A and B are shown apart, each in its own frame.
Chain A
Amino acid sequence: MNERELEDAVSRLPKRIEPPRDLWPGIEARIAASRSWRRRWYWVPLAAAAALVFLLLARAERSAWDVTALAGRPLIGTTRLAASGRLRVGDWLQTDDSSRALIAVGRIGQVEVRPDTRVQLVVARANEHRLALARGTIDAKVDAVPRLFFVETPAGTAIDLGCAYTLETDSLGKGLLHVTAGEVEFQSGPRSSRVPLGAVAQIRPTGPGTPYVDDAPAALVRALVAFDFERGRGGGARATRTILALARPQDALSLWHLLQRVDPSLRGVVYDRLAALVPPPPGVTRRGAIALESRALEGYWTRIQRIHFRIMVLRGVREIDPRTGLAKPRVLSVP
């Protein structure tokens, strides 16, 4: 076949070849699908915008806590709270001498705001709930894993470890932390106090004092306050000696804190007194405790805390040996 014959053959090729089957149904279906998709895509930006608005609103809602007026008409910002309202991040809630309010702490607890209190919602996230207590008194009840709820005060931060407590402060940072369930850590810079249920910590602008049980003898409390806040006025060694002399086994939690706060030269006598009141658990050595090794301190704290909890939980039910945490045998009276 030469070039010319090929050209002739090509020129005779049909311009149309009908498809062997009707392709229209497939085309129609794809067009319908394309229309459907177009319709859907057309709505995508709107749907996305709506979703964004919804998320922002939801986030805004989540970043606000419910507030209920318990008495009087507390203020949220400059607005009087009639019955209930929302406290948003950044908002201040203020009660006067005759008003009280209840704040729902997200979904993990609640805070009762007592009269003459000023509190601000600082953070309202699922993993962090944070209030600032400028002055006044709050009663907090939290049912959550530790370190989800924080209250900042002028003197430091109360860190919830799963508990209920009352926290009061003045605008300068002088106040009191009284824990009624669980445990709270009050932190101020490098200084912190662990306050378990049934214990109290005085707070000053310089930080938290040494915690003590709420039925501690008044003389012991005075000595602790002197030690913590009046060292320049003889609160150091003399207060330490007083504390050691007055301490009972149930005051071990105070001595455990004291061990870390006294002058290093006094740590030995503090440890010895503590060990005499509540023997250390196995593995905790005198040298380790005096060197403030965290392993020794944590081991000792665990023991003290366990005994303390047993005493508190079983108070009025069983008499617990404050040295060991074991229940004392019942003495049966013989008629």
Chain B
Amino acid sequence: MPPPAPAADLVARAQAGDQTAFRELYREHAGRVYALCLRLTGDGRDAEERTQDVFVRLWDKLRTFRGDSAFSSWLHRLAVNVVLNERRTTGRRERRVMPTEDPDNVVGAQHAAPLHGSAGLSIDLERAIAELPDGAREVFVLYDIEGYAHGEIAQLVGIAEGTSKAQLFRARRLLREKLER
């Protein structure tokens, strides 16, 4: 089996229009992008759609990547923008209650296998995150999971920095309450 091509090489080839290289980039980053989309949307099917959106957008935008930052960071930022823009475009997101009869659509069930000893808690946490109100969930995911600062979140989501902090506080409180039940 040939060794995987270096990321920079894959990016350069994909920028040149090499779709095979682009597919490799997809294989390499799909899990990270999907995780982000899944947590930001709180819905499995939406997450699939957004993941596809992200990579289609990536194909369009790839030529603008100049290597100023790590490709993965750049892609992550692109993914966040795609998801948040989609929410802004649609204007609202319906609160989705995951149908328990559809196991594939349950956040947490989709990644039960990779979890270790605390799998049960992780699944509960994923589920609880998905059930957070939209605004609180987005801030929580971006701040606590993805490591964005409140200033960045405020800019990305289009809210005041204070609102971001308040949403984070609210999200954490709601999560604790859910996980204690």
A contact set with B: CB distance below 8 Å: 1-3, 6-7, 9-10, 12-21, 23-24, 26-28, 30-31, 34
Contacts and interface: CB of A to CB of B under 8 A. Distances in A.
B122 A23 contact: no
Interface residues of B, number: 38
Contacts of A19: 30-31, 34, 47-48, 51
B156 interface: no
B110 interface: yes
Contacts of A1: 175-176, 179-180
B64 to A, nearest CB: 16
Contacts of B48: 19-21, 23
B126 A13 contact: yes
22 contacts: A3-B172, A3-B176, A6-B179, A7-B144, A9-B118, A12-B122, A14-B35, A14-B111, A14-B122, A17-B110, A18-B31, A18-B34, A19-B47, A19-B48, A19-B51, A23-B52, A24-B23, A27-B55, A28-B19, A31-B56, A34-B56, A34-B59
Given A14-B35, A24-B30, 18 more contacts: A1-B175, A2-B176, A3-B176, A6-B176, A9-B179, A12-B122, A13-B126, A16-B31, A16-B34, A17-B38, A19-B47, A20-B44, A24-B26, A27-B26, A28-B19, A30-B52, A31-B59, A34-B60
Interface string B151-181: 0000000000000000000001001100110
Nearest to B118: A12
B111 A18 contact: yes
B4 interface: no
B26 A31 contact: no
